[in-house]
Amino acid sequence: MILSYKVANYKSIKEPVELSFLADKGSEFIDTNTFNVNGKINTRILKSLFLFGANASGKSNILESLCAFNLVMRFGKNNNHRGAQEYWSTFPYIFDDVYRKKPTVFELKIGITQNIYLYHLEITQEKLVSEILFIYEGKRKKKIYSVSGNTITLGKNISEDEKEKLEKIASWTKNKTFLAAIAREEQKSLAEFNEIYWQISNIIYVKYPSSQINQFLTVEYMKTKQNKEKVIDLMRNADSCINDIIVEEDKNSNTGYNINFEYLINGKPEYINYNMESDGNRKLFNFAAVLLVATSSRKEPLLVIDELDTSLHPCIIDDLINNFMRTKGHKQLVASMHYTGLMDCLRRDQIVIVEKDKKELATTAFTMADFTGVRKDLNKEKAYLRGIFGGTPFTSFNFNVKGGK
Task: Map out the domains of the chain as residue ranges.
Answer: 2-202+299-385, 213-287
**pLDDT on residue 16:** 97
Give the pLDDT confidence of 96-137 residue by residue, as tens digits: 999 999 999 999 999 987 899 999 999 988 888 999 999 998
Which residue type sits at 265?
I
Q: Which of 80, 75, 81 is nearest to 128 (CA)?
A: 75
Q: Which of 265, 222, 259 is nearest to 243 (CA)?
A: 265
Residues of the chain with pLDDT under 70: 39-40, 77-90, 158-161, 163-165, 167-168, 170-174, 186-189, 208-211, 401-405
Domain 2-202+299-385 annotated CATH 3.30.160 = no
Which residues have CB under 8 Å from 345's CB, separation 6+?
A: 29, 318, 321, 322
CA 396/CA 112 separation, integer angstroms: 49
For 184, list phi and psi in degrees, rounded to 5.
-80, -10
CA 18/CA 310 separation, integer angstroms: 25
Give the pLDDT confidence of 139-180 residue by residue, as tens digits: 899 999 898 877 888 877 766 667 666 766 765 566 788 898
Which residues have CB under 8 Å from 82's CB, separation 6+?
A: none
- The total of other beta-carbon atoms located within 10 Å of residue 148's CB is 13
Judge contact between 384 and 340, C-beta under 8 A: yes
Count CA atoms within 13 Å of residue 381 on its CB side: 9
**pLDDT on residue 231:** 97
**pLDDT on residue 194:** 86
Count CA atoms within 13 Å of residue 237 on its CB side: 15
Report pTM.
0.92
Rg (Cα) of the chain, in Å, rounded?
Answer: 23
Which residues have CB under 8 Å from 302's CB, separation 6+?
A: 2, 66, 202, 203, 204, 332, 333, 334
Task: Give one word for 403, left, alpha or beta, with left for phi > 0 and alpha for psi -120 to 50.
Answer: left
- The total of other beta-carbon atoms located within 10 Å of residue 292's CB is 17
**pLDDT on residue 186:** 64
Cross-strand partners of 123: 104, 128
Which residues have CB under 8 Å from 161's CB, separation 6+?
A: 189
**pLDDT on residue 69:** 93
